[in-house]
């Protein structure tokens, strides 16, 4: 998959915080056999008050090409105890509103509370927690990349197979997510990697031998262009095409040369 086909990385804003996301870092590379898409994004989480801070659970949905199924990788929620800044601990008690005079405090400056304080252990603990979350997100990306590389073929595959894999995975993932527009686009790309002459779903249907596959694709066309119901269609599409296309046999090319008339029809 190219990075364009990976989901945007978003972080839910926890209560009592401000979120400052960095610009996403994306790239796509091709090793000659597989296409690898990478999407990295960092988030700065700044607490605005002391107390319990819960970083929400994060999950990534992806298609396992080795097991031919959709999977979800989950990073569990993380709780951080945000302490008050050091200045607030040394602040004088509130002034008494009664008649008792309040003794003056020599060289006392008004306390200012800033979260987090760079001079307190709170900042260290907080940023350590943020670093753990970001490192875990990076590790998830690394694990997915290594798993795809490990599950891929060891030797250089046939060129047609290397072109099929990204489009087929994109199609299966779109079906699982209910994105039927994306499924149609990926399906045509997948078909063209096996039969370059296929330009649309109609031409694909005409070249399929399996009735179940034709019915599923005709249902996709009715949903896209006639407003038919799409309920459960993604599951039916992925199920019918799980084993690949069942093509009609192509006509032999040699038949065209036999149709040419003789150059000198009167000579024998």
- pLDDT of 109-122, one tens digit each? 444 444 554 445 56
| Predicted confidence (pLDDT) at residue 243 exceeds the cutoff of 90 | no
Compute the average pLDDT of residues 77-87: 80
Domain that holds residue 211: 159-249
Examine residue 103 and state whether it is found in any structural domain, yes or no.
no
Rounded-to-integer distance, Cα 203 and Cα 195, Å: 11
Compute the average pLDDT of residues 33-57: 83
Residues in Cβ contact with 208 at an 8 Å cutoff, skipping those fewer than 6 apart: 214, 217, 245, 246, 247, 248
- Tell me: do 143 and 195 sit in the same domain: no
- Tell me: do 143 and 166 sit in the same domain: no
- Tell me: do 54 and 127 sit in the same domain: yes
Q: Which is more confident, 35 or 220?
A: 220
Rounded-to-integer distance, Cα 241 and Cα 217, Å: 10
Question: Phi and psi at residue 224, in whole multiples of 5°?
Answer: -75, -40
Distances (CA, A) of 23 to 10, 13, 37, 48: 12, 17, 17, 23
The pLDDT, as a whole number, for residue 210 is 92
Per the prediction, the chain carries an average pLDDT of 74
The C-alpha R_g of the chain, in whole angstroms, comes to 31
H or E element, residue 54: strand 51-55
DSSP-derived letter for residue 190 is: H
- Tell me: do 167 and 124 sit in the same domain: no
The pLDDT, as a whole number, for residue 247 is 92
Compute the average pLDDT of residues 207-220: 91
Examine residue 105 and state whether it is found in any structural domain, yes or no.
no
The pLDDT, as a whole number, for residue 108 is 44
Compute the average pLDDT of residues 207-216: 91
Query: CB of 55 within 8 A of CB of 80?
Result: yes
Q: What is the pLDDT of residues 146-181, one digit of tens each?
A: 776 666 554 444 444 455 678 888 888 888 888 888
- Tell me: do 20 and 139 sit in the same domain: yes
Enter the tokens of residue 50.
């002391």
Compute the average pLDDT of residues 48-60: 83
At 206, the pLDDT band (50, 70, 90 cuts) reads very high
Q: Give the number of domains in the chain.
A: 2
Examine residue 178 and state whether it is found in any structural domain, yes or no.
yes
SS3 174: helix
At 86, the pLDDT band (50, 70, 90 cuts) reads low
CB-count exposure of residue 84 (10 Å: 0-12, 13-18, 19+) = middle
Examine residue 46 and state whether it is found in any structural domain, yes or no.
yes
Residues in Cβ contact with 73 at an 8 Å cutoff, skipping those fewer than 6 apart: 59, 60, 62, 140, 143, 144
Q: Which is more confident, 191 or 39?
A: 191
């Amino acid at each position: 998959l190219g990075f364009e086909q990976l989901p945007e990385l978003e972080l839910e804003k926890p209560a009592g915080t401000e979120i400052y996301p960095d610009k996403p870092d994306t790239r796509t590379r091709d090793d000659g056999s597989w296409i690898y898409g990478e999407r990295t994004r960092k988030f700065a989480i700044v607490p605005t008050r002391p107390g319990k801070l819960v970083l929400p659970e994060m999950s990534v949905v992806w298609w396992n090409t080795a097991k031919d199924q959709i999977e979800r990788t989950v990073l569990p929620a993380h709780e951080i105890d945000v302490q008050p800044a050091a200045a607030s601990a040394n602040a004088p008690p509130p002034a008494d509103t009664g008649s008792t005079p309040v003794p003056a405090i020599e060289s006392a400056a008004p306390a200012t509370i800033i979260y987090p304080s760079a001079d307190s252990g709170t900042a260290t603990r907080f940023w350590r927690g943020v670093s753990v979350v970001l490192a875990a997100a990076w590790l998830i990306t690394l694990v997915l990349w290594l798993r795809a590389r490990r599950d891929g073929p060891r030797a250089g595959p046939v060129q047609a197979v290397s072109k099929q894999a990204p489009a087929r995975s994109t199609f299966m993932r779109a079906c699982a997510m209910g994105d039927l527009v994306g499924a149609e686009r990926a399906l045509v790309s997948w078909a063209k990697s096996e039969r370059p002459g296929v330009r649309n779903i109609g031409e694909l249907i005409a070249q399929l031998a399996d009735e179940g596959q034709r019915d599923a694709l005709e249902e996709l066309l009715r949903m896209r262009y006639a407003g038919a119901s799409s309920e459960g269609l993604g599951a039916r599409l992925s199920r019918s095409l799980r084993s690949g296309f069942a093509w009609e046999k192509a006509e032999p090319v040699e038949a065209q040369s036999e149709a040419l008339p003789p150059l000198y029809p009167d000579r024998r």
